[in-house]
Structure 1
Amino acid sequence: VILGGFNDRMDIFWKFCDVNLFLSLNDGFGLPIVEGYMHGVPCVTFEDLDATQDLYYPEAMLKVKDRSNESVTDTLKIALDKNWKYEEIIEIGNMFSIDIMSEKYVNWYKEIMA
C-alpha cells in the first residue's frame, strides 16, 4: 500500500500498482479513477459512488456491491487474480484526457448555442 498524497511524483507510484483500491465515501467524478486508467491500472470501488456510474467499464473496474469489509476483500481478491488488459484500460483513460474532454465541452456548447 502506497499513500502518496498529492505530489509531482505520482507517475512513479502508479507504475507499482496492480489495482487502484478507491474506497471513497463520496466522490462526484473520481479523478483518481481516471488517473489510474491513464496508467493502465484497474479500479476497485463502491458500486454506489456517483463516479462509478460515470466511469464504469467492465474491462477496467470491479464494483464492490456493499460497504462491508467482506465485500471489499472478496472483490479485491478477484481483481488481483484477474487477467487485466492494461492497454485497453489506458485507452479508456485516454477518453478522459484534457484535450478530448475540452473538445466535448466545446461541441456541447456549440450545440446549445445553435
Structure 2
Amino acid sequence: MKVKSLVATLALLATLGAAQAEEKLGVTVYPGAKHDAATSNAVKEMAGGEAACFTTADPIAKVAAFYKAQGLKAIGEAGKESAMFRKGGVDVTIQSPWMDMRTGTMMKTTLVSIVKPAR
C-alpha cells in the first residue's frame, strides 16, 4: 500500500512540474517527459530567469518533431545530439546525451530544457 501511495505521489508531482512549467513559460512540455527538479534548479541559477527541465527516453528527432509541430521556431538545424527552438522569449533546448551537472555523469536519456532567461 505504501508503494502505491508513493508512486501516486511521484506521478502527481511530475504532473505538477509540467503544468507549472507550461503555465509559467507558455511552452507545452513533451508528453510523458519526467520533471527533473535538480537540473531545473541548476539551469535556473545559470540562466538567472525561469527554467524547467524534463527527461524522456525518446530520441531527439521525435522530441524535435513534437516542438516543430507545436509551431516553435527552429534555431539552426536539429542534429543527432541537439536541437533548439524558440517561442517568444522562451528557449527550448533538446540534448542527448547530456551531462548531469551535479555528478558530471553523462546521461543517455534526452533532456528537454525550457528556459526564459532574465532580460
TM-score, normalised to structure 2, is 0.25
Q: Give the structure with the higher percent strand.
A: 2
